[in-house]
Each structure stands twice: as structure tokens, then as C-alpha cells.
Amino acid sequence: MTAAAPLAATPVTEPGRRAFVLAIAAQKGGVGKTTTSVSLASAWARFHGLRVLLVDLDPQGHVDLAVRQQITEPGGALSSVLADRGATPIGEIAASTTVENLWVTRADAGLLTIEERLAGRIGRETVLRRAMERSREHFDVIVLDCPPNLGLLTINALVAADRVLVPAEPSPLGLAGVHGLFDAVNDVRDQLNDQIEVLGVVLTRMDGRNTRTNGAVLESVQRTMGDMLLPVHVHVDAALAQAQLAGEDVFAHRPTSRAAEQYQELAEIILSRR
Ligand SMILES: Nc1ncnc2c1ncn2[C@@H]1O[C@H](COP(=O)(O)OP(=O)(O)OP(=O)(O)O)[C@@H](O)[C@H]1O
Ligand SMILES: [Mg+2]
């Protein structure tokens, strides 16, 4: 995590676009939100030539850890942008990376207390949307990696996004939180962002060894989620943890791994559904 620094990035400008904004959110912790955010953002920049901004909205700063070897400048503090009522375009604090077309806004220490600082303010749910508005024309996709709760940062992401992708583990408990998120999306649609829709649920950490349990869980998920369940699942693959340890995305670290292949497929499916 970076210290709350003043703006220290080269502003990213290439007007004329209108970014598709995808929030990656789940109430539950450890279901693969960050891994999915980093892998999809990287896949779109690498294989589709899209200009991608990956925003770390989680005070844990895991995006930063996951791609720390690929970040080439410090960037600015997201918490300052949010505290400033979203007056600064978020693209102005983005850090460039060694991946062409991929920029990252990193979590900073100020994010830990930003929810408290915004709590009493009018417009607290819309600060991210305001900060993003002018930056949308400089990117093709903006990916928002959310913290594992339905607090103010996640609500800001749902207000700012066009679509939500929900990663879930293929277990009965893993799916328990999905409906809470769907309810939050419905509330946000009723009150703050009538565009927002769930793009789908992606099963992460499928365990290839436990085919019987997986089969039963998959059947039950298909029954309850229907079309919401995306047709690509991400299997357990040590390549993902190894890539995170190395501080780079899976396509840089283990390009021939199953996870790299599955995230590439997922990236294509999402583009076709957006
Ligand atoms: N398909 C997978 N195979 C193996 N390990 C995985 C897989 N997906 C994620 N992991 C590992 O699981 C851990 C949690 O993943 P990740 O950080 O992406 O989840 P998260 O939902 O963002 O967590 P948090 O709620 O804390 O933000 C990480 O150590 C990651 O390396
Ligand atoms: Mg995370």
C-alpha cells in the first residue's frame, strides 16, 4: 500500500472513448475478486488492445501487491480524490505499468479511514462516479476491485459501474453471500444508478479433484442462477498464487497455465456480454 501522497502520476489522456465500467464485488472475502480483477484487466490490455484502468478500492491494497513488479510510477492517492468530493479525475492519479495499455490506481493508507471521513457528507455514495466521469473518455474499460463487504466503498463502485461481476466459490457457503450482493445491486438501481446490472457470477477455485461435490454444487448453482452463471469457471491453479507472490499478472508469470487460459476465455465472454 502506498502512503497518501499528493498527485504524482503522468495524467493519462487520450480522449474520445467511453469506458465500460465493471465492478468486481462479493460480500465474502477470499473468493478471487482481486485475482479476477487483475487477470481480466491484464487480459483486456494484452490481448484486446483495450486501454484499461484497474482501480484498487480495497484498503488491503492487494492489487498493488499482485502487480507491484509491474508498476512503473507511484501514482496518486485515491483517498484524496474521494475526500475531495471526486473533483479530481481518477485518471490523473493512475500509475502506468509495464503492460502496455494497463494503468492502475493504487490503494493508499487513507482508504482505511475514508468511509468514516465520508460518512456524514451529502453525496457520499457518488464521489467515485464523479471522479470517474471525466476519465471515462480516456479508457475503454475501468475495472473496480472492491473490498469484501457492502460498505461505502463497494456502494460507490456499484453507483459508478455499468455492470457487476460476482466471483464465488463453488460451495454452498461460498454462494451464500451472492444474494446479499444482488439485493444491494437492486437497491442501488432503485435509488442511485438505474443502469447497473449484474453481468454474471463466475465460479472461482473449482477443485478438479472433488468432482462429485463440484458436480452437485454446480447443478444447484445452475438451478438457482440460471443464465447469471457464466459458462467459464476458474479452477484451482497454483500459478495464480505464484504470480501474486512474484508481483506480476498470471500472463506475465505463467502464460501457459490453465488459469491464464481460463481468464483469457472469461475476458472474451465478458466483452461479448457487456
Ligand atoms: N483459482 C485460484 N486457484 C488458486 N488460488 C487462488 C485462485 N484464485 C485466488 N486464489 C488465491 O486465493 C487467495 C484469495 O484470492 P483473492 O485475493 O483474489 O480474493 P479476494 O476475494 O480478492 O479476497 P479479499 O476478500 O481479501 O479481497 C489469494 O491468495 C489468491 O492467490
Ligand atoms: Mg481482494
Best residue among 24, 27, 34 to mutate for probing ligand 1's pocket (most ligand atoms within 8 Å of CB) is 34
Is the pLDDT at 165 greater than 60, yes or no? yes
6 part of a folded domain: no
β-bridge mates for residue 17, sequence order: none
Ion ligand 2 — residues with CB < 5 Å: 33-34, 62
For residue 16, the CA-to-ligand 2 centroid distance in Å is 31
What is the reported pLDDT for 2? Answer: 47
Q: What is the pLDDT of residues 20-66, one digit of tens each?
A: 999 999 999 999 999 999 999 999 999 999 999 999 999 999 999 99
Q: Answer whether 61 contacts ligand 1 (Cβ < 6 A).
A: no
Is the pLDDT at 111 greater than 80, yes or no? yes
Atom of ligand 1 nearest to the CA of 31: 21
State which amino acid sits at residue 119: A
Q: Answer whether 208 contacts ligand 1 (Cβ < 6 A).
A: no
Confidence of residue 9 (pLDDT cuts 50, 70, 90): low
Confidence of residue 8 (pLDDT cuts 50, 70, 90): low
Atom of ligand 1 nearest to the CA of 28: 25
Q: Answer whether 56 contacts ligand 1 (Cβ < 6 A).
A: no
For residue 241, the CA-to-ligand 1 centroid distance in Å is 8
Nearest alpha carbon to residue 1 among 109, 112, 115, 110:
109
Confidence of residue 177 (pLDDT cuts 50, 70, 90): confident
Is the pLDDT at 215 greater than 90, yes or no? no
What is the reported pLDDT for 212? Answer: 72
CATH code at 155? 3.40.50.300
131 part of a folded domain: yes
Work out the average pLDDT over 238-262.
Answer: 98
2 part of a folded domain: no
**Polymer length of the chain:** 274
Does pTM surpass 0.85? yes
Give the rounded percent of residues in the chain with a pLDDT score beyond 90.
81
136 part of a folded domain: yes
171 part of a folded domain: yes
Q: Answer whether 241 contacts ligand 1 (Cβ < 6 A).
A: yes
Give the residue whose CA is nearest to atom 18 of ligand 1. 32
Work out the average pLDDT over 119-142.
Answer: 95
Report which of residues 4 and 32 the model is more confident about.
32
Is the pLDDT at 3 greater than 60, yes or no? no
Q: Answer whether 2 contacts ligand 1 (Cβ < 6 A).
A: no
Give the residue whose CA is nearest to atom 2 of ligand 1. 236
Is the separation of the CB atoms in 164 and 10 below 8 Å?
Answer: no
Give the rounded percent of residues in the chain with a pLDDT score beyond 70.
95
Question: What's the number of domains the chain is made of?
Answer: 1
What is the reported pLDDT for 200? Answer: 97
Nearest alpha carbon to residue 66 among 94, 106, 114, 25:
106
Q: Answer whether 184 contacts ligand 1 (Cβ < 6 A).
A: no
82 part of a folded domain: yes
Atom of ligand 1 nearest to the CA of 243: 31
Is the pLDDT at 141 greater than 80, yes or no? yes
Identify the nearest ligand to the CA of 35 by its number.
1
Q: Answer whether 169 contacts ligand 1 (Cβ < 6 A).
A: no
Q: How many CB atoms lie within 10 A of CB 205?
A: 20
Instruction: Tell me the H-state helices in the chain.
Output: 33-47, 62-66, 78-83, 114-118, 127-133, 152-160, 172-176, 178-191, 211-225, 238-246, 250-253, 258-273
Q: Taking all residues of the chain, what is their mean pLDDT, rounded to a whole number?
A: 92
Q: What domain range includes position 150?
A: 20-273
Confidence of residue 221 (pLDDT cuts 50, 70, 90): confident
Residue 147 grid cell: 473490498
10 part of a folded domain: no
Q: At 230, is the secondary structure helix, strand, or coil? A: coil
Q: What is the pLDDT of residues 64-86, one digit of tens each?
A: 999 999 999 999 999 999 999 88
Q: Answer whether 34 contacts ligand 1 (Cβ < 6 A).
A: yes
Work out the average pLDDT over 196-204.
Answer: 96
Q: What is the pLDDT of residues 146-159, one digit of tens each?
A: 999 999 999 999 99
14 part of a folded domain: no
Instruction: Give the integer Cα–Cα distance in Å for 207 and 237.
Output: 9
Is the pLDDT at 211 greater than 90, yes or no? no
Instruction: Give the integer Cα–Cα distance in Å for 82 and 99.
Output: 26
Residue 93 grid cell: 492519479
Is the pLDDT at 105 greater than 60, yes or no? yes
